[in-house]
């Protein structure tokens, strides 16, 4: 007798992605990209994983603006000088970066962004897989100041009168991203692109408007995946809404996926994208790093000295088998 399954399993797309211990990855998009990117950072050396260098980005227009600044051709400057602004509290920020990028002067912030950009551009040039998470098709454009009309990446909790909110049409987004994908492949032909759609629910739009927004983004992603053979889709959104399908898999706000849901998505993702070598590497690396972080109660004890000898041997074995873990 066949056992009953009280859920709908989401079928994974054909496995076209093969992540290995040598893979260099780049994550950009919403908070969901942060979660998955940080889990990847536990599996690979830090120099091989870049996660949201501007902070979380939510709409396809802002994501495209930011990625364009890292293209080798330099078609877009690292950051627009007119995007700097001073908050009422005397902090300097930039409209294309999150609130974590703050400095007491414009000059100090510009230097911070310039140094960060130089590092990230090198990482982007060597990336082999780009993960992009769209969350909403709503954009906020400035209605005043030097950047009037600019689509901001973050509103920085500034007064709503400074912005005009609108939903980008599917036609606009498709034209924008079709052009960008062609440019991306021309400049970085080695790059594979994996799209995901954030499961976050925009209750502030109303649930019908939220569904329309997600549908437009889904159609955008599907169009790009059909048009470009280096573009792929991982169904994180469907896993939450169709497979897990329960409020117990949402956080206390009932809008964000819970940690348990994120971990389950990660488990499904590793099954889909990781080679057997990467699964073994990640497991052994995690165990090694955990041992290296051990803090003894009695540092001079014979037991701890024996532990250190074993740890040194584990490091040598790991280096011999895999190479560096950092």
pTM for this model (two decimals)? 0.93
Q: What is the DSSP string of 38-63?
A: HHHHTTS-GGGEEE-TTS---SHHHH
Contact status, residue 257 vs residue 264, Cβ threshold 8 Å? no
199's tokens: 């499961």
DSSP E strand boundaries for the chain: 25-29, 49-51, 84-86, 92-94, 129-134, 138-142, 163-167, 192-197, 231-233
Q: Where are the domains of the chain?
A: 25-90+106-137+169-274, 275-294+301-326
Helices and strands counted in the chain (H then E):
9, 9
Question: What per-residue confidence (pLDDT) applies to 119?
Answer: 95
Say which DSSP state 299 is in: T
Q: How far apart are CA 283 and CA 156, in angstroms?
A: 39
DSSP 113-127: HHHHHHHHHHHHHH-
Of 55, 93, 97, 51, nearest in space to 78 by CA: 97
Nearest 5 degrees, angle CA 180-CA 270-CA 192? Answer: 20
Distance separating alpha carbons of residues 204 and 48, to the nearest angstrom: 37
* Per-residue model confidence (pLDDT) at position 1: 64
- The pLDDT of residue 107 is 97
Q: Which residues have a Cβ under 8 Å from the Cβ of 6 and sit 6 or more positions away?
A: none
Give residue for tokens 């230097």.
111
Q: What pLDDT, on a 0 to 100 scale, did the predictor assign at position 296?
A: 82
Superfamily in which the 25-90+106-137+169-274 domain is placed by CATH: SGNH hydrolase (3.40.50.1110)
Question: pLDDT tens, position by position, for the chain (326 residues)?
Answer: 666 676 788 888 887 789 999 999 999 999 889 999 999 999 999 999 999 999 999 999 999 999 999 999 888 888 888 999 999 999 999 999 999 999 999 999 999 999 999 999 999 999 999 999 999 999 999 999 889 999 999 999 999 999 999 999 999 999 999 999 999 999 999 999 999 999 999 999 999 999 999 999 999 999 999 999 999 999 999 999 988 888 888 889 888 889 999 999 999 999 999 999 999 999 999 888 888 888 888 888 888 888 889 888 888 988 889 887 77
Q: In this structure, what token pair is assigned to residue 100?
A: 């974590």
CB half-sphere exposure, 189, CA atoms < 13 A: 1
Structure tokens given for 52: 């949201």
3-state SS class at 195: strand
- In whole angstroms, give the CA distance from residue 255 to residue 266: 19
């Amino acid at each position: 007798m066949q056992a009953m399954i009280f859920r709908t399993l989401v079928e994974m797309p054909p496995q076209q992605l093969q992540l290995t211990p040598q893979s260099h990855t780049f994550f950009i998009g919403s908070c969901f990209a942060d979660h998955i990117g940080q889990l990847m950072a536990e599996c690979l050396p830090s120099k091989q994983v870049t996660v949201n260098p501007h902070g979380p980005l939510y709409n396809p227009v802002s994501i495209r603006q930011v990625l364009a600044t890292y293209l080798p051709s330099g078609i877009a400057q690292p950051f627009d000088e007119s995007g700097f602004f001073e908050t009422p509290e005397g902090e300097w920020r930039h409209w294309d970066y999150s609130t974590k990028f703050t400095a007491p002067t414009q000059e100090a912030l510009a230097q911070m962004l310039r140094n960060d950009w130089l590092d990230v551009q090198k990482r982007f040039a060597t990336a082999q897989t780009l993960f992009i998470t769209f969350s909403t098709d709503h954009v906020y454009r400035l209605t005043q100041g030097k950047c009037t009309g600019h689509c901001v990446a973050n509103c920085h909790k500034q007064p709503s009168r400074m912005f005009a909110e609108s939903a980008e049409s599917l036609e606009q987004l498709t034209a924008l991203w079709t052009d960008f994908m062609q440019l991306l492949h021309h400049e970085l032909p080695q790059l594979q692109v994996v799209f995901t759609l954030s499961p976050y629910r925009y209750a502030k739009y109303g649930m019908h408007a939220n569904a329309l927004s997600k549908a437009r983004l889904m159609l955008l992603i599907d169009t790009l995946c059909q048009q470009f053979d280096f573009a792929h889709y991982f169904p994180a959104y469907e896993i939450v809404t169709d497979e897990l399908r329960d409020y117990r898999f949402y956080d206390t706000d009932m809008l964000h996926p819970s940690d348990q849901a994120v971990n389950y998505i990660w488990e499904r993702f590793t099954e889909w994208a990781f080679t057997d070598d990467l699964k073994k590497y990640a497991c052994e690396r995690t165990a090694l790093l955990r041992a290296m972080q051990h803090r003894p109660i009695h540092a001079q004890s014979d037991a701890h000295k024996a532990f250190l000898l074993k740890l040194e041997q584990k490091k040598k074995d790991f280096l011999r088998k895999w190479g560096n873990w950092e």
